[in-house]
């Protein structure tokens, strides 16, 4: 049964869907969001329990293949060295994200013309800057103004504490004369907008029970729901429908909470299902006009999948680092090796991220994102008593360049609980990335030694972290040329004029920073383009 058409239908209630909806609020259009997961209630946050760490390996794992909750869809990653991770529910992956909030840099948008690799974006940093700022205010971002790594901007709140570990490493960077800066964080250093400040619990991946982390469950969604945006949860979209006569998207077919298949019609559709969920949905939406998947005349839907491959190096210090205290991912960030320098043997660059160390169980099991337990026996005792408390580490987060063979397709057999075909990931590391990882591990070692580490524990850079598919980008890339891109400069499908994509799928390149501030800035920018062109939007 088809329902009344809405003006705007957004699929996915995560980071991008929420920001996009907020941008359109002032138009007073009727906005509906369909989300396959549900709201999380206060009592659902595991960090309120004594054995909170256990949930990381069960119902609160970041890996949907481990969680296997009703709202999750399985992902076949057998042909990938990295598996995508996420959260499906109101807030999307900002429920379990770590709130590290660096912006992309001007050169990230021009990699082809500046460095001869990747492609240029059809938008640039300076166009997005006001939207970064707007989003920082809406989210409550903490940081220190004056970072020489960026054109001038000022986060709205003071930076979160760097902690003993961050101060130690900062001195190491200073010793070497390298860039570093306190991390921008979508985490409140002060009470803000009725929300509580961060209590330094250190379990940001388990959802922030304090409400201090800028997940859209705490930021945008309460405002949106109060303003009358309709959010239908436990509603999983199976496919987007096309009106064969107009060539426009007419609505969607979705499974409601009782498992009934329903049709919802809409005048404008926005897909916000993240870099794996979005191509999956488009590839599942086949019609006579689009036999290879909706909006896929370019053949680019699902291609150019980018993660941020990473590796870590830790140093053992003389005093306890108290690394489990404070937001997990955010202390300081060095971008000394971010910009291209061909003399290094690779193009583009990486960041050295000083997050904090993790809790004992996760450390013993190999670390966050890794399944490789530390040794047992006497060595176990020694590591836990004499190494673990004294650790500080750096993570090398590399830019992943777009390569068409890294891609999302549909698995021929695997489905979710509604029988919808699941995504399959085919992904491998490039030589450029491997060289970057090696270079980064060597530089990280130098910093740790300069900071006073008495011993270095190096990971194997050939083996990237398995559950490092936190950032999923590029699978419906933006571009001016419909022959090799899926959407145009404002997120609109080249092939279907009333279909927009507003998540990280539309990234042209990945930068070497966490993507969510850019994803949301882009979603706000796309909303703004729609508002400015509302009169002749579908021409």
Partner 1 sequence: MSGLWTDEERALLDAMLNCLIPANPERRIPAAGDLGVADFLAQRLRREVELGSAIKTLLNGAPAHADAMTPQAVTALENEFPAEFRALLSVTYMGYYSRPDIRALVGVGSHPVHPEGYEVESESEALLDGLTAPVRERGRNYRDTGPIRKS
Ligand X SMILES: Cc1cc2nc3c(=O)[nH]c(=O)nc-3n(C[C@H](O)[C@H](O)[C@H](O)COP(=O)(O)OP(=O)(O)OC[C@H]3O[C@@H](n4cnc5c(N)ncnc54)[C@H](O)[C@@H]3O)c2cc1C
**Which residue in the block uniquely carries the two structure tokens 């571009």?**
479
CA angle 409, 413, 415 (to 5 degrees): 80
Q: Pick what 181 binds: ligand SF4, partner 1, ligand X, none; C-beta below 5 to 8 Å, kind-dependent.
A: partner 1
CA angle 513, 39, 93 (to 5 degrees): 15
Instruction: Output 21 or 165, the one with its CB closest to partner 1.
Output: 165
Widest pairwise Cα distance in the chain: 72
Site string for ligand X, 21-40 (x = CB under 6 A): -------------xxxx---
Residue 203 found at the interface with partner 1 (CB under 8 A): yes
Residues, the chain: 539
| Residues 208, 203: Cα–Cα separation, whole Å | 7
Give, for 128, the enclosing helix (H) or strand (E).
Answer: helix 125-139
Q: Pick what 112 binds: ligand X, partner 1, ligand SF4, none; C-beta below 5 to 8 Å, kind-dependent.
A: none
Q: In 3-state terms, what secondary structure has residue 254?
A: strand
* DSSP β-bridge partners for residue 253: 239, 263
The DSSP code for 77 is E
Residue 273 found at the interface with ligand X (CB under 6 A): yes
Residue 96 found at the interface with ligand X (CB under 6 A): yes
Residue 94 found at the interface with ligand X (CB under 6 A): yes
**Which residue in the block uniquely carries the two structure tokens 């004369």?**
177
**Closest residue to ligand X, Cβ-based?**
14
Measured from the Cβ of residue 167, the count of other Cβ atoms closer than 10 Å reads: 13
| Residues 139, 130: Cα–Cα separation, whole Å | 14
Q: Pick what 480 binds: ligand X, partner 1, ligand SF4, none; C-beta below 5 to 8 Å, kind-dependent.
A: partner 1
Q: Pick what 306 binds: ligand X, ligand SF4, partner 1, none; C-beta below 5 to 8 Å, kind-dependent.
A: none
Measured from the Cβ of residue 267, the count of other Cβ atoms closer than 10 Å reads: 18
Instruction: Output 344 or 405, the one with its CB closest to partner 1.
Output: 344
Stretch that binds partner 1, among 52-60, 91-99, 295-303, 419-427 (CB under 8 A): 52-60
Q: Pick what 187 binds: ligand X, ligand SF4, partner 1, none; C-beta below 5 to 8 Å, kind-dependent.
A: ligand SF4
Binding residues (CB under 6 A) for ligand SF4: these are: 99, 187, 198-204, 208, 210, 212-213, 327
Of residues 225-254, those binding ligand X (CB under 6 A) = 236-237
Exactly one of 38, 47, 88, 147 binds ligand X (CB under 6 A); that residue is: 88
Q: Pick what 213 binds: ligand X, partner 1, ligand SF4, none; C-beta below 5 to 8 Å, kind-dependent.
A: ligand SF4
| Residues 398, 390: Cα–Cα separation, whole Å | 26
Give the rounded distance of the alpha carbon of 271 from its chain centre: 16
Binding site for ligand X (CB under 6 A): 11-17, 34-37, 62, 85-86, 88-89, 92-94, 96-100, 205, 236-237, 272-274, 277, 281, 329, 470-471, 503-504, 514-516, 519
């Amino acid at each position: 049964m088809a329902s009344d058409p809405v003006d705007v239908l957004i699929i996915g209630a995560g980071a991008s869907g929420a920001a996009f909806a907020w941008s359109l609020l002032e138009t007073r259009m009727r906005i509906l969001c369909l989300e396959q997961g549900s709201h999380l209630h206060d009592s659902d946050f595991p960090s309120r329990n004594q054995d909170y760490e256990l949930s990381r390996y069960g119902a609160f794992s970041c890996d949907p293949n481990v969680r296997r909750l009703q709202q999750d869809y399985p992902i076949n990653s057998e042909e990938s060295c990295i598996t995508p991770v996420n959260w499906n529910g109101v807030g999307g992956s900002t429920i379990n994200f770590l709130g590290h909030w660096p912006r992309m840099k001007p050169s990230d948008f021009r990699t082809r013309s500046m460095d001869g690799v990747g492609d240029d974006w059809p938008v640039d940093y300076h166009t997005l800057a006001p939207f970064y700022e707007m989003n920082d205010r809406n989210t409550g971002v903490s940081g220190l103004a004056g970072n020489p790594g960026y054109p001038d901007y000022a986060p709205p709140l003071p930076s979160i504490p760097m902690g003993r570990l961050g101060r130690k490493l900062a001195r190491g960077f200073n010793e070497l004369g390298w860039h570093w800066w306190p991390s921008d964080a979508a985490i409140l250093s002060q009470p803000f907008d009725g929300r509580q400040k961060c209590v330094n619990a250190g379990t940001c991946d388990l959802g922030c029970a304090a409400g201090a982390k800028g997940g859209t469950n705490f930021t945008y969604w309460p405002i949106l729901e109060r303003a009358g945006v309709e959010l239908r949860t436990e509603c999983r979209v199976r496919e987007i429908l096309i009106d064969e006569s107009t060539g426009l998207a007419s609505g969607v077919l979705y499974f409601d909470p009782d498992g009934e298949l329903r049709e919802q019609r809409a005048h404008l559709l926005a897909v916000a299902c993240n870099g794996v969920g979005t191509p999956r949905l488009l590839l599942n939406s086949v019609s006579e006009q689009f036999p290879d998947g909706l909006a896929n005349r370019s053949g680019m839907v699902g291609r150019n999948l980018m993660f941020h491959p990473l590796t870590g190096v830790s140093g053992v210090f003389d005093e306890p680092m108290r690394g489990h205290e404070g937001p997990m991912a955010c202390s300081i960030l060095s971008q000394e090796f971010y910009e291209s320098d061909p003399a290094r043997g690779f193009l583009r660059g990486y960041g050295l991220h000083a997050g904090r160390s993790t809790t004992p169980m996760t450390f013993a099991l190999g670390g966050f994102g890794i399944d490789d337990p530390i040794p047992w026996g006497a060595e176990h005792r020694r590591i836990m008593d004499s190494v673990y408390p004294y650790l500080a580490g750096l993570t090398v987060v590399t830019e992943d360049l777009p390569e068409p063979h890294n891609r999302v397709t549909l698995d021929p057999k695997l489905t979710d609980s509604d029988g919808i075909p699941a995504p399959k990931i085919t992904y491998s590391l490039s030589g450029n990335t491997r060289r970057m990882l090696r270079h980064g591990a060597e530089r990280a070692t130098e910093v740790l030694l300069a900071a006073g580490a008495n011993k270095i524990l190096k990971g194997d850079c050939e083996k990237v972290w398995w559950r490092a598919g936190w950032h999923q980008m590029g699978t419906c890339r933006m571009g001016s040329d419909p022959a090799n891109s899926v959407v145009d400069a404002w997120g609109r499908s080249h092939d279907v004029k009333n279909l927009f994509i507003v998540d990280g799928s539309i990234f042209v390149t990945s930068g070497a920073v966490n993507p969510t501030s850019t994803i949301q800035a882009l979603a706000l920018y796309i909303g703004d383009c729609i508002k400015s062109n509302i009169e002749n939007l579908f021409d």
